[in-house]
A and B are shown apart, each in its own frame.
Chain A
């Protein structure tokens, strides 16, 4: 009995150690701004292209502001890269891509890295902060921003995470 309790304690302690990096972050939704479209048929093409992704639960397009809000299937592995590619596949470009991300007391600083679902997320241009609850994070990079915006951020994309642990995705608040 005592051995069992000890074993449980060890497992829980181990889980607690892992939790800030594996369990305390989760996508709630993604919003993608789409450039190059003005018609509802084009907007629908984008929606249909995103809906093909197996982790997508629902897509709600805002035709007037040419953006789409995407929600996900429970426990599904989300790929922002695939969302960006889906927009391109429909024949358009990504203006911005941002996400509602759930954190639990994650203390970040400049160039803070955390692994999530096989990728390394690196914060850029952020100050020391504790992230708790749903936080809006913006993806930075050629695939996630308009050409003009990317130009502005390009010089900040200096890898600080261990590339060997996975592809780096740059995010900011």
Chain B
């Protein structure tokens, strides 16, 4: 915590010297140039017990209008199986009464890589106050994730885990080499209807999980370290980033055999909130090929949707069409 505070203070101090808004994890309020196509290939991975969980995704971005960007992200991961884990929810019989309960969670169950689905995202910039070497911008974003994942945590994550809608606002301020951006939004997840293997061997048990609605609040800082002075496009641009990723979400509701809202005992399915801190570094080669590296640590509470640290690596570039 103390270390994080020091880092923030360092960033605030550096702002006077002169940032970048091309954050490794958060979208800025700025857009992809009109008619330009962006491709981003990224991986996120973390260790869960002896298992390495990974997510690989390909994002295609397009500048429809100077102020409107659309994106589609296809992802695959080994975060979850095709069914819910066997201990997600179970029941016992007490006379004529059925008592439902949720089980604990098992760490590191190996799952094969599966295609999660596609997430769609659109961002419209509605405020632009530009000055020389500075800007203040605001954008509204909305998205829908068409995913089919047997996600077994209350926390929704539209990128790769949870089907549903999201939307919010992005405010970005950039001056000289310093950039700061706040993203605040909501996630309205949709239920996942799946099944869990029946330990009695009588066939899969139909199970529906309603994930918690969530509020996101992300704050990102960026600072351009090199070059100190621009001379040409061939100079590799190095930037440092510090991002805070926060989320508050409701508890999950599980339905089995028509019994709604099975009492949940595991923290995975309960309501929660957390803030992660993510330092990152970025190189932009020849003013187009962008490589991002960042690591995620827990700062306040923790997410149960992933273990720590989470390593992210991304490679991105724009292609300018002739239109």
Known: A38-B19, A63-B231, A64-B230. A48 touches B320 (CB 8 A): yes
Cβ 8 A contact of A49, one of B34, B133, B237: B34
Cα(A152)–Cα(B281), bound, Å: 42
Cα(A132)–Cα(B133), bound, Å: 36
Cα(A77)–Cα(B251), bound, Å: 64
Cα(A44)–Cα(B22), bound, Å: 15
CB nearest to B31 among chain A residues: A91
Residues in B with CB closer than 8 Å to A33 are 132
Residues in B with CB closer than 8 Å to A93 are 128, 130
CB nearest to A51 among chain B residues: B320
Q: Tally of A-B residue pairs with Cβ under 8 A?
A: 92
Interface size on B, residues (CB 8 A): 42
Known: A38-B133, A49-B34. A90 touches B66 (CB 8 A): yes
Cβ 8 A contact of B131, one of A43, A64, A89, A146: A146
Cα(A66)–Cα(B322), bound, Å: 23
Contact yes or no, B132 A35, CB < 8 A = yes
Known: A45-B318, A89-B66. A40 touches B235 (CB 8 A): yes
- Nearest-Cβ distance from residue B20 to partner chain A, whole angstroms: 6
CB nearest to A89 among chain B residues: B34
- Nearest-Cβ distance from residue B312 to partner chain A, whole angstroms: 20
Contact yes or no, B284 A39, CB < 8 A = yes
Cα(A33)–Cα(B320), bound, Å: 21
Cα(A54)–Cα(B7), bound, Å: 49
Residues in B with CB closer than 8 Å to A154 are none
Known: A39-B22, A40-B230. A90 touches B34 (CB 8 A): yes
A133 contacts the other chain (Cβ, under 8 Å)? no
- Nearest-Cβ distance from residue A46 to partner chain B, whole angstroms: 8
Residues in A with CB closer than 8 Å to B230 are 40, 43, 63-64
Residues in A with CB closer than 8 Å to B105 are none
